Chains A and B, each alone.
Chain A
């Protein structure tokens, strides 16, 4: 068990509660990201992967993976005196995709986490968010093998130039937090642009 984060009571000055979804393919690091940023004990619904998944859950590229999310992850992070983010991490495998629409409902925006070794896993997430009109940013979870520039990744994903693409290490709190801040800034700029 990892040490529990120090208790962080919700500031009384909180005015904005914002819901964020974290999506992406199987084994890309969604649970890790939610765990890293959460200031409360994160809810996690990880289960040990069983032999029933042989031939179903493809572990190529993530051979060390032992457990997988079967419902969703949940964590909370206070951004500043007035804003708090509620972060929901989606499960990655296709059999749990039916949960995504519920997770997206009411979400301010989403983070699509990608792994360049399994880029195709993120197409469904990006497609779904575009169809739903949910604002999102794409974060490349760098497993220390950053062979591709962000421009190359953008091209491979055929990503709209207006959508922010950032690099992060989902294991590190500060790095993961920057992704969430990038999303909040992106959403704010969209709102400002609309207001004009």
Chain B
């Protein structure tokens, strides 16, 4: 699946989910893979780094306080002016969505997970194969 197709899927998510503003797919080490058109490049870079950090901390919380099943279902932050949702999206990647305050968290989460299933196994960011290879 190429990045154009992925971007198209992200735009589709925003269209069918009221209140959503931006969607971004990032690698687990904090780099953007693709994002919706309304998100400026600088903001996309920033969101990718933020989302990777949040997911990693959420994972640490699950290790310390979870039931051992492993993994983070969803991380969410609610701030003045909006919400941030992050879910795992395939191997080595995450999907982040920014919404307005009015968005329905249940619907956003549902649609994000649905999108992740659509992206399915096509979406993965494999580890760097050999060190130093460009």
Residues of A at under 8 Å CB distance from B? Answer: 43-57, 59-60, 63-66, 68, 70-72, 91, 93, 95-96, 98-99
Contact = CB atoms under 8 A, between A and B. Distances in A.
A50 B53 CA distance: 15
Interface in B4-40: 26-33
Given A50-B127, A59-B131, A59-B132, A45 B29 contact: no
Interface of B is mostly: mixed
Contact of B127 (A55, A66, A96): A66
B30 A43 contact: no
A121 to B, nearest CB: 17
A50 B125 contact: yes
A48 B127 contact: yes
Contact of A71 (B33, B45, B53, B132): B53
A99 B53 contact: yes
B43 interface: no
Contacts of A47: 28-30, 52, 56
B107 interface: no
B133 to A, nearest CB: 7
Given A54-B134, A63-B132, A64-B131, A71 B31 contact: no
B49 interface: yes
A69 to B, nearest CB: 8
A53 B56 contact: no
B49 A98 contact: yes
B87 to A, nearest CB: 16
Given A66-B131, A71-B54, 15 more contacts: A44-B60, A45-B60, A47-B56, A50-B125, A50-B126, A52-B29, A52-B33, A52-B125, A54-B134, A64-B131, A68-B29, A71-B56, A95-B46, A95-B48, A96-B53
Contacts of A55: 134
Nearest to A64: B131
A8 B60 CA distance: 20
